[in-house]
C-alpha cells in the first residue's frame, strides 16, 4: 500500500513513520526540511514563506509551484496530486488547526471528494465511515458520529451503545461518546457518517 503524509503549515509535532512518503504543503515543506525529514515533493503557492526560504527549499525535492491567485487551496492541490500519483492512503496533517474556513474546506474534501482521506492534528482525527463494519481502537477520549445521509448505525463497546438506530443529517445526539475497552465496533446498515475522534477537553 502506498501511503502519503501531507505536512501542512499548521503541523506542530510531525509524526515520523517510515511507512509514509512525506509531502510538503506550502510552508509545511520548511517544517520537514528543518526536521531533516526527506520529502517526495512539495506543492503549493509558497506565499507563506520568504523568497530566501523558498530558495533554501529548492534542491531538496521536486517542487510543484502554483500561482497565488487560484481556485484551489494548497491542501486540495496536494491531495489531488497524491491521488494522481496512486497513493492509497492520504493523511492530511494539521488539517484541523488554524483558520476555520480552511478546516471546513478540508472536511468538505473528505465528505464530497476523497472519502478515504484522513484529517489529523495533534489532538483530533476525522475519517469517513461508509456501509459495513468498522473497528475503532481506543486512541482518543471522545468519539462522535455525524450522518452525511440517512443512516442506520449500531455502536458496540461504547459508553452509549446503539442498535440499528436511524440517524439523519439533522441529528447530533451521537456526539461525545467514548470507547469502553481497547476497541469498539461501528456497523452501518446503510448510509455514511463522519467519525470525529478527539482528546480535546
pLDDT digits (tens, 9 = 90+) for 43-67: 999 998 888 999 999 989 999 999 9
pTM: predicted TM-score of the whole model, two decimal places: 0.95
| Residue 11 CB burial class (10 angstroms; 0-12, 13-18, ≥19) | buried
Q: At what angle do helices 74-84 and 100-112 cross, to 10 degrees?
A: 30
Q: What share of the chain is helix, strand, coil (3-state, %, to 5)?
A: 20, 35, 45
Return the C-alpha cell found at 199: 482528546
Average pLDDT over residues 152-174: 98
Q: Which residue has the higher pLDDT, 12 or 129?
A: 129
SS3 120: strand
Any long-range contacts for 68-76 (C-beta under 8 Å, 24+ apart)?
A: 70/45, 73/102, 73/105, 74/8, 74/25, 74/26, 74/43, 74/44, 74/45, 75/6, 75/8, 75/25, 75/102, 75/105, 75/106, 75/109, 76/105, 76/109
Assess whether pLDDT exceeds 90 at residue 36: yes
Across the chain, mean pLDDT equals 96
Q: How confident is the model at residue 130 (pLDDT cuts 50, 70, 90)?
A: very high
Residue 98 has pLDDT above 90, yes or no: no
Q: Are 153 and 165 in contact (CB under 8 A)?
A: yes
pLDDT at 77: 97
**What's residue 49's pLDDT?**
86
Residue 192's pLDDT band, with cuts at 50, 70 and 90, is very high
pLDDT the model gives residue 201: 84
CA pair distance 11, 106, nearest whole angstrom? 14
Q: CA-CA distance, 85 to 77, in Å (whole number)?
A: 12
Tell me how crowded residue 147 is: count the other CB atoms within 10 A of its CB: 21
Amino acid at each position: 500500500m502506498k501511503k502519503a503524509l501531507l505536512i501542512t503549515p499548521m503541523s506542530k509535532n510531525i509524526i515520523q513513520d517510515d511507512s509514509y512518503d512525506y509531502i510538503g504543503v506550502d510552508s509545511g515543506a520548511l517544517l520537514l526540511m528543518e526536521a531533516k525529514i526527506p520529502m517526495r515533493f512539495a506543492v503549493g503557492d509558497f506565499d507563506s514563506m520568504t523568497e530566501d526560504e523558498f530558495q533554501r527549499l529548492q534542491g531538496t525535492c521536486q517542487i510543484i509551484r502554483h500561482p497565488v491567485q487560484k481556485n484551489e487551496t494548497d491542501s486540495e492541490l496536494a491531495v489531488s496530486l497524491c491521488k494522481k500519483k496512486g497513493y492509497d492512503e492520504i493523511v492530511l496533517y494539521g488539517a484541523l488547526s488554524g483558520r476555520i474556513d480552511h478546516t471546513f474546506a478540508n472536511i468538505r474534501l473528505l465528505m464530497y471528494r476523497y472519502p478515504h482521506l484522513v484529517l489529523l492534528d495533534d489532538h483530533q482525527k476525522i475519517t469517513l465511515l461508509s456501509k459495513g463494519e468498522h473497528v475503532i481502537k481506543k486512541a482518543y477520549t471522545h468519539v462522535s458520529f455525524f450522518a452525511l445521509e440517512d443512516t442506520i448505525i449500531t455502536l458496540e463497546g461504547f459508553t452509549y451503545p446503539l442498535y440499528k438506530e436511524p440517524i439523519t443529517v439533522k441529528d447530533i445526539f451521537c456526539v461525545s461518546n467514548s470507547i469502553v475497552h481497547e476497541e469498539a465496533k461501528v456497523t452501518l446498515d446503510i448510509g455514511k457518517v463522519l467519525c470525529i475522534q478527539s482528546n480535546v477537553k
